[in-house]
Amino acid sequence: MDFFHGLAAALLYNYPLIMEQESSKAAAVRQLFADYVVPTYRRSLVLARGAGMYVWDVDGRRYLDMGGGVAVNALGHAHPRLAAALHRQALTLTHTSNLYYHEQQGRLARRLVGHLAPGKVFFCNSGAEANECQYKLARKTGHARGRFEIITALNSFHGRTLAGIAATGQDKVRAGFEPTVSGFKHVPFNDLAAARAAVNEHTAAVLIEGIQGEGGVTPATAEYLIGLRQLTREHGILLLWDGVQCGYFRTGRFQSFQRILEGVTVSGAADFLPDAVAMAKSIGGGFPMGAVWIAAEHADVFQPGTHGTTFGGTPLACAVANAVLDEIEEHHLADNIRAMGELLKARLSAFIGTRGIKDVRGTGGLIGLALTVDGAAAAARLREAGLLLIPAAGDVLRFLPPLNVTAAHIEEAVEIIGRTL
Ligand SMILES: Cc1ncc(COP(=O)(O)O)c(C=O)c1O
Q: Is the pLDDT of residue 307 over 80?
A: yes
Given strand 290-295, what is the order of strands in its sheet? 119-124, 290-295, 276-279, 238-242, 203-209, 149-153, 184-187
Q: Which is catalytic among the residues 122, 123, 157, 254?
A: 157
| Nearest ligand 1 atom to alpha carbon 281 | 10
Residue type, 274: P
Nearest in space to 385 (alpha carbons), one of 66, 5, 134 = 66
Q: Is the pLDDT of residue 130 over 60?
A: yes
Range 135-164 average pLDDT? 98
- Cβ(261)–Cβ(229) below 8 Å: no
Q: Are residues 196 and 179 in the same domain?
A: yes
Q: Are residues 157 and 271 in the same domain?
A: yes
Domain membership flag for residue 372? yes
Asked about 311 being catalytic, the answer comes back as: no
Of all protein residues, the one whose alpha carbon is nearest to atom 13 of ligand 1 is 159
Q: Which residues of 393-409 are buried (b: 16+ CB within 10 A; e: fewer)?
A: bebbbbbbbbbbbeeeb
Domain span including residue 61: 44-66+332-420
What is the model's pLDDT at position 8?
A: 45
Domain membership flag for residue 74? no
| Nearest ligand 1 atom to alpha carbon 156 | 1
Residue type, 118: P
Q: Is the pLDDT of residue 191 over 60?
A: yes
Q: Are residues 285 and 307 in the same domain?
A: yes
Q: Does ligand 1 lie within 6 Å of residue 292's CB atom?
A: no
Q: Are residues 182 and 247 in the same domain?
A: yes
Q: Does ligand 1 lie within 6 Å of residue 127's CB atom?
A: yes
Domain membership flag for residue 220? yes
Q: Which residues of 343-373 are buried (b: 16+ CB within 10 A; e: fewer)?
A: bbbebbeebeeebbbebbbbbbbbbbbbbee
pTM here?
Answer: 0.94
Nearest in space to 365 (alpha carbons), one of 411, 395, 333 = 333
In sequence order, the 6+-apart residues with CB closer than 8 A to the CB of 97 are: 310
Q: For residues 2 and 317, which has the higher predicted lDDT (pLDDT)?
A: 317
Helix (H) or strand (E) holding 65: strand 62-65
Q: For residues 119 and 6, which has the higher predicted lDDT (pLDDT)?
A: 119
Q: Are residues 122 and 48 in the same domain?
A: no
Q: Are residues 281 and 397 in the same domain?
A: no
Tell me how many domains the chain contains.
Answer: 3
How far apart are the C-alpha atoms of 123 and 125, rounded to whole Å?
Answer: 7
Asked about 148 being catalytic, the answer comes back as: no
How far apart are the C-alpha atoms of 54 and 56, rounded to whole Å?
Answer: 7
Looking only at the bridges linking them, the beta strands covering 218-219 and 211-212 are antiparallel
- Cβ(385)–Cβ(378) below 8 Å: no
Q: Is the pLDDT of residue 14 over 70?
A: no
Percent of the chain with pLDDT over 70: 95
From 292, 315, 330, the end of a domain falls on: 330
Q: For residues 2 and 211, which has the higher predicted lDDT (pLDDT)?
A: 211
What is the model's pLDDT at position 238?
A: 99
Domain membership flag for residue 72? no
Q: Is the pLDDT of residue 17 over 50?
A: no
What is the model's pLDDT at position 123?
A: 98
Q: Does ligand 1 lie within 6 Å of residue 280's CB atom?
A: yes
Range 60-69 average pLDDT? 98
DSSP letters along 256-282, please?
HHHHHTTT--STTSTT---SEEEE-GG
245 alpha carbon to ligand 1 midpoint, in Å? 7
Q: Are residues 28 and 94 in the same domain?
A: no
Domain membership flag for residue 139? yes
Helix/strand number for the chain, H first, E second:
16, 17
**What's CA 334's distance to the chain center, in Å?**
15
Q: Are residues 56 and 85 in the same domain?
A: no
Of all protein residues, the one whose alpha carbon is nearest to atom 4 of ligand 1 is 158
Range 55-64 average pLDDT? 98
Asked about 191 being catalytic, the answer comes back as: no
The vertex-75 CA angle with 71 and 80, nearest 5°, equals 145
In sequence order, the 6+-apart residues with CB closer than 8 A to the CB of 64 are: 53, 54, 386, 387, 388, 409, 412, 413, 416
Pocket test for ligand 1, best of 217, 244, 277, 282 (most atoms within 8 A of CB): 244
- Cβ(104)–Cβ(92) below 8 Å: no
Q: Does ligand 1 lie within 6 Å of residue 348's CB atom?
A: no
Q: Does ligand 1 lie within 6 Å of residue 284's CB atom?
A: no
Q: Are residues 359 and 321 in the same domain?
A: no
Q: Are residues 386 and 413 in the same domain?
A: yes
Range 74-100 average pLDDT? 98
Q: Are residues 120 and 180 in the same domain?
A: yes
Q: Which is catalytic among the residues 57, 184, 189, 242?
A: 242
Domain membership flag for residue 75? no
Mean pLDDT for all residues in the chain: 95
124 alpha carbon to ligand 1 midpoint, in Å? 13
Q: What CATH number does residue 336 fall under? A: 3.90.1150.10
From 330, 363, 383, the end of a domain falls on: 330
157 alpha carbon to ligand 1 midpoint, in Å? 7
Domain membership flag for residue 89? yes
Q: What CATH number does residue 292 fall under? A: 3.40.640.10
Q: What are 244-301's pLDDT values in tens digits?
A: 999 999 999 999 999 999 999 999 999 999 999 999 999 999 999 999 999 999 999 9
In sequence order, the 6+-apart residues with CB closer than 8 A to the CB of 52 are: 76, 77, 78, 79, 402
From 301, 330, 359, the end of a domain falls on: 330
Q: Does ligand 1 lie within 6 Å of residue 275's CB atom?
A: no
160 alpha carbon to ligand 1 midpoint, in Å? 8
| Nearest ligand 1 atom to alpha carbon 209 | 1
Domain membership flag for residue 73? no
16 conformational bin, left if phi > 0, alpha if psi -120 to 50, beta if neither:
alpha
Q: Are residues 300 and 199 in the same domain?
A: yes
To 10 degrees, what angle do helices 333-349 and 407-420 make? 20
In sequence order, the 6+-apart residues with CB closer than 8 A to the CB of 266 are: 222, 223, 226
pLDDT band at 167 (very low <50, low <70, confident <90, very high): very high
Q: Does ligand 1 lie within 6 Å of residue 125's CB atom?
A: no
Give the CA distances from residue 407 to residues 43, 72, 349, 401, 404, in Å, rounded to whole numbers and listed in that order: 29, 20, 16, 12, 10
What is the model's pLDDT at position 20?
A: 53
pLDDT band at 22 (very low <50, low <70, confident <90, very high): confident
What is the model's pLDDT at position 285?
A: 98
How far apart are the C-alpha atoms of 312 and 304, rounded to whole Å?
Answer: 14
- The SS3 of residue 201 is coil
pLDDT band at 2 (very low <50, low <70, confident <90, very high): very low
The DSSP code for 217 is: S
**Helices marked H in 92-199:** 103-115, 127-142, 162-167, 171-174, 192-198
Q: What are 219-251's pLDDT values in tens digits?
A: 999 999 999 999 999 999 999 999 999 999 999
Pocket test for ligand 1, best of 70, 133, 135, 245 (most atoms within 8 A of CB): 245
